[in-house]
Structure 1
Amino acid sequence: MTTELPEGYEISTDPARLDRELVHRWLAEESYWAKGRPRDKHEQAVANSLNFGLYEAGTGAQVGYARVVTDRATFAWLCDVFVAEAARGLGLGTALAAAVRDELMPLGLRRVMLATLDAHGVYAKVGFEPLTVTEKWMLLGEQ
């Protein structure tokens, strides 16, 4: 299963390329899941995660972001997936999720998880499925 990145865009896992201020603004001001996240928490999260930046190939301007929390052996959590409003509708969110999937596949992880309120279709296109056995999962923290 492959998902093509639309022409004119590139994805990088180089944390030095990230526009951390822009990503923080997206997440803290525009997302429903990280609204109000303090900048120091954002920096800590970025520093301790595998980060994916989505960029315009010609200008290098960042137009998307995804973050993976993982032990790189058994488990990963895909989170903070965001595509700038002006770049939505081009298949970039699906391509970003596919790039994450493709980066993680060689690790042989037992489980890659995520949570979403509104993008189930995006993630289904790259192989994610709803949980079928929810009674074994528990949560400490916010719903």
Structure 2
Amino acid sequence: MSPEQMAAIIMFILLLALVISGVHLAFALMFIGLVFGLIFQGSSIFPMAMLQTFDIMESEILIAVPLFVFMGTILERSGIAEKVYQTLYELFGPVRGGLAIATIVTCTIFAACTGVIAATVTAMTLIAIPSMLKRKYSKSLASG
């Protein structure tokens, strides 16, 4: 087995151990990346990590995330989302779990249109959870 394959297996086992022990996934991935970067690249990993972080933060795609969250807030506050959910509730009323199915389809379409999963989750959370709770869906089902 090559050293790269062995390192990948060790990284995966370490990731599982960290996540199971309760470390948040983002911090576990950061820790593993820095440790193995130090092992394979030496101290040059720190400037590389810093530059990569700033490069990602300058991405023009991330500008859309707050705008989609803002759009979700506007839909929820203006009552448009409630009217949409009332229509979906009446349309899928006879089907058991119809509103939940409609929510999943809506989330899928919204995610495909935006391309940013974090924005979809945040916007649809603002829209879907209050409407589903109002129609007596359980909190565990409404929150996914």
TM-score (structure 1 length as normaliser): 0.29
> Which has the larger Rg?
2
TM-score (structure 2 length as normaliser): 0.29
Which is helix-richer, 1 or 2? Answer: 2
Quick one: higher RCO (CA 8 Å, sep 6+), 1 or 2? Answer: 1
